A and B are shown apart, each in its own frame.
Chain A
Amino acid sequence: MIDLANPVVVAAGCGGTGRELDALGALDGIGAFTTRSLTLNARTGGPVPRFAETPSGLVHSTGLPGPGLEIFLATELPWLVARGMRVVVSVTGASVAEHAEVARRLAQAPGVRGIEVDLAVPDARAHGLLDVREPFHAANVVAAVVREAQDLPVLAKVRSDVLRVAESARVVTDAGAVAVVVGGPQAAALPDGRPAGLSGPAVLPLALRCVTEVRAALPGVPVVGCGGITTTADARSFLDAGAVAVQVGAALLHDPTTAARIAADLAGGPS
């Protein structure tokens, strides 16, 4: 997979451009930085309100705003690389062809360490993105990305549906993904009924269960655990369940230093 100096990774869409965390000293010691899910062309994102609070959770539907791949490659990526970050670029799109085109261009971009295919967008259809519901759809997308990615490792972030997560993980690794990211947002709705994702501590037990399901079914597949991690103890639960790394997402919105703190704790050795 990707060689990480520390198992703590910034989750997609929760770390801004990287500069905002760095200004707070909050990238120090981080294993890798995952970008927000990028599309070929720029997107303004969805309507407001884009989030709602729920006890121990955040319901969100940003509509994946982003600068488009070219501007990302010209402005955001060089800074991250110069900063010494291991960069994993998350990708999404409206079609299999768009995913493939983005992967083709990323394969030429200096400094990218890996591609993470976001197959877990909980509000994809509402935002005009490919709705990857069935495992065989996911396999198609992953195969197309792997074909274009050349030597770049491809990770697949699968839907965190406890009953089907092991099957999803199997088909995407059969399609060429070197690892799976397990435990993204749960499909949810904003108070006005618009489709959205639910993240934060509320989803941790579900994410942990997803990790154990995949580990049991596919002991040879590296799993990156993600979902509701806010403390070092949370991260250890995922690592103890067999995850090779963990991603920290929504907790950064609450305390931007969370990932750096957990990374430092883990680097300090077992306790």
Chain B
Amino acid sequence: MAAPRARRDRVAGDAGVKSPFHTTGEVLASKRVGAFQHLTVVAPGVAERFRPGTFVAVSVDGTRLARRALWIHGVRPVGGHGPALQLVVEPVGPGTRWLAERPVGTRLEVTGPLGRAFALPKEPVATLLVGEGYAAAPLFPLAERLRERGCQVNLLLAAPDERRLLSALEARRSARAATVVTADGSVGRRGSVADVVAGVLAQSAAEVVYAAGPVPTLHAVAAAAEQAGAWSQTAVEQPLACGTGLCHGCPLPVVGEDGVARVVRACTEGPVVRGDRVRWAELAGARPAHGEPA
């Protein structure tokens, strides 16, 4: 399935175009940092369209049909190649292990950027960015965009342990205040996002909260934001088969603007959704019955 082939790529880089792009990319660099593999992938047409909170779908290992979703951690110009994607892979299963083991020069089928990005505030307000593990990846480019708009950026980074804490050093440099928590206490405070988020939120006086991480973490952040009267945007990960909106394999239970309960596609109507719109209890395990309105 991954055989090289001729493709009629559309012209790459037409500025302002938001639609995604499907192309053959190439691994330019691959570096181990703690438990993560940091990949630099040149994918003409994809990087140019990037906005924080969007992701790419990549094909792995010849016979595997489903695609693997990865947050775009950043876009960096690489000499002779133009803008390249920065990706962070945590090897947890066959697909992510395959990606982490790819040597430089490997060709990768990449589609992106996909999904809805983080919405930026119109006013220069104080913000809090909460990220756990590799999922903190989209928060770094978001922090940059927020600072460009004069927003104050506070960071709360979490991980099970130091090896799975993403770029704490960079975080300290780029945020006004950075709090770090790890489950085992190997770096920062011992604890979880749920333990500390209300306190950090009160201290930062943030009006807008952005979060990326596992569902229970997002739920805790959304609840704390609601309690504090802040507006929250959560980046929700659901198992994806295609990532491109074709298969309806990624149901996300939400409440629409009109107050009506719906099930939308996490990959297309998400991954970023307002925290107060997600029906967290259902996402955490309860299974929606068939037949109720979509």
List A residues at the B interface (Cβ < 8 Å): 13-17, 20-21, 23-26, 36, 41-51, 53, 55-58, 60, 62-63, 65-68, 127-128, 200-201, 230-231, 250-257, 261, 264
- 16 pairs, CB–CB < 8 Å, chain A vs chain B: A14-B247, A21-B246, A44-B290, A45-B263, A45-B294, A46-B290, A53-B65, A60-B241, A201-B1, A253-B241, A255-B1, A255-B22, A256-B22, A257-B7, A257-B22, A264-B8
A24 / chain B contacts, CB cutoff of 8 Å: 19-22, 111, 244
Q: Does B76 contact A (CB under 8 A)?
A: no
The 9 A-B pairs of least Cβ separation, nearest first, read A47-B287, A253-B242, A20-B245, A23-B19, A42-B294, A16-B246, A44-B263, A50-B249, A42-B293
Any chain A CB within 8 A of the CB of B167? no
Highest count of chain B CB atoms <10 Å: which of A20, A21, A128, A201: A20
A257 and B288 CA atoms in complex are apart in Å by 32
**CA A62 to CA B250, docked complex, whole Å:** 9
Residues of A within 8 A of B249 (CB): 50-51, 60, 62
A228 to B294, CA, bound (A): 29
Q: A21-B246, A24-B22 are in contact. Are A44 and B251 (CB under 8 A)?
A: yes
Complex CA distance for A62 and B65, rounded to whole angstroms: 16
Report, as a range, how many residues of chain B touch the other chain: 35 or more
In the bound complex, what is the Cα–Cα distance between A65 and B266 (angstroms)?
A: 14
Pair A68/B294 contact, Cβ less than 8 Å: yes
Query: Which residues from chain B contact A21 at a C-beta distance below 8 Å?
Result: 246
B248 touches A50 (CB 8 A): yes
Report whether B290 and A45 are in contact in the complex, using a CB–CB cutoff of 8 Å: yes
Task: Kindly supply a per-residue 1/0 record for chain B positions 42-86, scoring 1 wherever the CB is within 8 Å of any chain A CB and 0 otherwise.
Answer: 000000000000000001000111110000000000000000000
Nearest CB of chain B from residue A132's CB, rounded to whole Å: 18
Query: Could you tell me the distance between the alpha carbons of A240 and B244 in the complex, rounded to whole angstroms?
Result: 32
Asked if residues B294 and A13 are in contact (CB atoms below 8 Å), the reply is: no
A127 neighbours in B (Cβ, 8 Å): 290
Q: B63 to A48, Cβ gap below 8 A? A: no
Contact check, A62 vs B248: say whether CB atoms are below 8 A apart.
yes
In the complex, whether B291 has a CB less than 8 A from a CB of chain A is yes
Inter-subunit contact B287/A51 (CB<8 Å): no
Please, which residues of chain B bring their CB within 8 A of the CB of A17? 245
Chain B residues in contact with chain A, CB under 8 A?
Answer: 1, 3, 5, 7-8, 10, 19-22, 59, 63-67, 109, 111, 238-239, 241-242, 244-251, 262-263, 268, 287-294
Compute how far the CA of A257 lies from the CA of B10 in the bound complex, rounded to whole angstroms: 12
Contact flag A65-B263 (CB < 8 Å), given A14-B246, A43-B294, A50-B251:
yes
On whether the beta carbons of B246 and A253 are closer than 8 Å, the reply is yes
Q: How far is the CA of A254 from the CA of B5 in the complex (A)?
A: 15
Interchain CB contact under 8 A, B290 and A256: no
Smallest beta-carbon distance B145→chain A, Å: 23
A92 to B231, alpha carbons, bound, how many Å?
Answer: 41
Contacting B288 at CB < 8 Å: which of A44, A55, A58?
A44
Chain B CB count within 10 A is highest, among A62, A67, A127, for A62
**Judging by beta carbons under 8 Å apart, are B287 and A256 in contact?**
no
Chain B residue numbers with a CB within 8 Å of A43 are 290-291, 294
A254/B251 in contact, CB under 8 A: no
* Cβ distance B268 to chain A, nearest Cβ, rounded Å: 7
What A residues does B241 contact at CB under 8 A?
Answer: 50-51, 58, 60, 253
Known A56-B65, A200-B65: A51·B5 in contact at CB below 8 Å: no
